[in-house]
Chain A
Amino acid sequence: MAEAAKEQSNGYKSGSNLEKVLTNGYFAVTGELGPPQGSDLEEILHKSQLLRGVVDAVNITDNQTAVVRMSSIASGVLAMREGLEPIVQMTCRDRNRLAIQADLLGASALGMRNLLCLTGDHQSFGNHPTAKNVHDIDSVQLVRMVKDMRDDNIFQCGDPIKFGNPRFFIGAASNPFADPFEYRPYRLAKKVAAGVDFIQTQLIYDIPRFREFMKRVVDLGLHKKVYILAGVGPIKSAGAARYMRDKVPGMIVQDMYVDRMNAAVADIPKEEKKARREAWQAEGIKMCIEQIQEIKEIEGVAGVHIMAIEWEEAVKPIVEGAGLFPRPTME
């Protein structure tokens, strides 16, 4: 059955657009879409319009920051109807191995072809801090489980999958800015050994550290085994830059980003809120474009993952400004 599936997909693992873009040597661009905190479709339709044709595939977050939202798979189906290619995010926080596998069978049947395997933010950050978390398996084990389902036709327990194996292009995250720094490339190596196909990194606001991380990744030869998409995102205001620098666990933001955001509004009086907002947004987009241009030249980087959360309008000007538009059309 696995062989037949492979033939159907012309040798691709999943046949997703993202897989084709990367395997054909294009510099990939992915985006992000946060599902609504409710059951209305409008938000997904609106965000989909802003991202359609601008990126190769779109992450659909899974209860991001542990706040309840429409499910990633359901939102992914809706986004797909709007012409996007979803990357379903799946965290180990909310589901055990039974629930994850059941959802993956369903996601595959519904046409999902990309999956991002994540540990998940701790529930204490979200809107249900008294919830029980699961963490039956971790993200590395999740990668292996999905790969075994796809390539070996087996469930995690070892039983054969009799009625069609789910075919995902398997992704995972890597955070070059978390500690212990020396361990990070090896943790990435573990995910590679587990069978991951692509990696998206945490938001990069410290390019020298990312450069050092990538050097170690290249020294380990990992860039030849996995496609690494560098995480970038436009900063919306000086306050947002400070917040990420000072408050968000696992992030490093160089002072330069805060300083530039401050400088962008230095000549605009505080009461001119609209003008300040526009100046910040223009500077945020400009910095993001510069980041992409710099990161693109780093050895081992196969693409960028643009996280413009609740600011999807920014993605098109960034992709255009970075010279990555139009996106390649795959057969």
Chain B
Amino acid sequence: MIVGEQKPLTEIMEQLGEARKVLVAGCGTCVTVCFAGGEKEVGILASALRMKSKLDGRPIEVDEITVQRQCEWEYIDPLAEQLQGYDIVVSLACGIGVQAMNERFSEIITLPGINTTSLSLPVEQGIWEERCQACGDCILDLTLGICPIARCSKQLLNGPCGGSQRGECEVNPDVPCAWQLIWERAIKFGKMDQLLEMQPPKNWSSSRDGGPRKIVREDLRLAEEGK
């Protein structure tokens, strides 16, 4: 899922500047599940903004709303009227939601209330670990189901660097070395030979390096009226 973390209150306050009437907008999908931007977090942030601005001697009027999915037009279109009268919207959705709001409602500025961090797996309650970088050219078949692009700090394709020790990444002992995991899995399935093959340089053009990515599925597009 897409995972994010709420920005510090002081940073959000700074973003607000002179705004006196603010709407905090949550999202009911990924950021709800990762406890960063759902209805509950919207309520907490809204209260915090009210209290902080009051303490600062410049009270802000803060309202709350949460839609099921900020990244789809059909869920945000009904907001059009509700946005009337606000100086600013603070979105607690991921970066996609924030941009969808700005695109759909170009007359009002929507600011980011969270930092979108990763495509992660909630490995246990309260812990999210990155699993995918959306590189656009999946190689999990070559690496026994463990992604070195997302999970190796150096995105190595031909085995572990010299900093791997006791299964830990040199960058942070809390991060497991992806290649240690890949090697262990290769042993389990007797596929060590697969890791002896040299992997050529990766084609990064399908990743962000090729520019912003776009998928067009003609089979799914709706025929334009009049055509």
Interface residues of A (CB under 8 A from B): 92-93, 97, 119-122, 124, 133, 135-141, 144-145, 156, 173-175, 177-180, 182-183, 186-187, 189-190, 193-194, 202, 249-250
Contact = CB atoms under 8 A, between A and B. Distances in A.
B162 A202 contact: yes
A62 B199 CA distance: 25
Nearest to A92: B154
Contact of B201 (A93, A97, A173): A97
Given A97-B201, A178-B165, A179-B166, 10 more contacts: A121-B163, A121-B170, A137-B202, A138-B158, A141-B158, A144-B200, A179-B177, A180-B160, A183-B159, A186-B192
Interface residues of B, number: 32
Nearest to A141: B201
B155 A186 contact: no
A202 B155 CA distance: 21
A133 to B, nearest CB: 7
15 contacts: A136-B201, A136-B202, A141-B157, A141-B201, A175-B162, A177-B165, A178-B161, A178-B162, A180-B160, A180-B179, A180-B184, A182-B183, A187-B158, A194-B198, A249-B168
B154 A93 contact: yes
A63 to B, nearest CB: 15
Contact of A122 (B166, B171, B179, B199): B171
A100 B177 CA distance: 27
By secondary structure, the B interface counts as: loop
B170 A189 contact: no
A135 B156 contact: yes
Contacts, number: 102
Contact of A186 (B184, B195, B200, B201): B195
Interface of B: 153-168, 170-171, 177, 179-180, 183-184, 192, 195-196, 198-202, 204
Contacts of B200: 141, 144
A140 B162 CA distance: 13
A144 B177 CA distance: 25
B165 A140 contact: no
Contact of B156 (A119, A178, A180): A119
A183 B156 contact: no
A180 B180 contact: yes
A283 to B, nearest CB: 27
Contact of A249 (B163, B183, B202): B163
A250 B179 CA distance: 14
Contacts of A93: 154
A182 B153 CA distance: 21
Contacts of A183: 159-160, 179, 183, 195
A144 B183 CA distance: 23
A122 B170 contact: yes
Contacts of B167: 179
Nearest to A182: B183
B198 A119 contact: no
B158 A122 contact: no
Q: Which 9 A-B residue pairs are closest in the complex by CB-CB distance?
A: A175-B162, A249-B170, A140-B158, A249-B163, A187-B159, A119-B161, A250-B163, A250-B162, A138-B156
B220 to A, nearest CB: 34
A178 B158 contact: no
B198 A250 contact: no
A187 B156 CA distance: 12
B160 A179 contact: yes
